[in-house]
Amino acid sequence: MAVKSVSIRIEEEMLHKIAYVADYEGRSINSHILILIRNSIKEFEDKNEKIPIGKSVEPEDNVRPYKKNKG
């Protein structure tokens, strides 16, 4: 499986707090975030269905309506 890189924007306070939790758990921030992501995916799949790879959420299935740019 290929490993991809993603960058995120995060508030400084949140970054310090996640770093604290990761350090407390004996992990790097990256490893801790991956665990949180895996847990989120597992929770979603347990409540809904297994997420198919390569498939997007259809607009009628999206619980958050698409926001058009105002302009």
Write out pLDDT tens, residues 8-61.
999 999 999 999 999 999 999 999 999 999 999 999 999 988 999 888 877 777
Q: What pLDDT is stored for residue 43 in this prediction?
A: 97
- Over residues 4-9, mean pLDDT: 94
Reported pTM: 0.73
Angle at which helix 29-47 crosses helix 12-24, to 10 degrees, equals 90
Q: Map out the domains of the chain as residue ranges.
A: 12-49
pLDDT range class, residue 71, cuts 50, 70, 90: low
CA R_g for the chain = 16
Two structure tokens written together for 2: 């290929």
Q: Name the maximum alpha-carbon separation found in the chain.
A: 47
Look at residue 58 in the predicted model and tell me its pLDDT.
78
What is the rounded distance in angstroms from the CA atom of residue 55 to the CA atom of residue 12? 33
> pLDDT value at position 60?
75
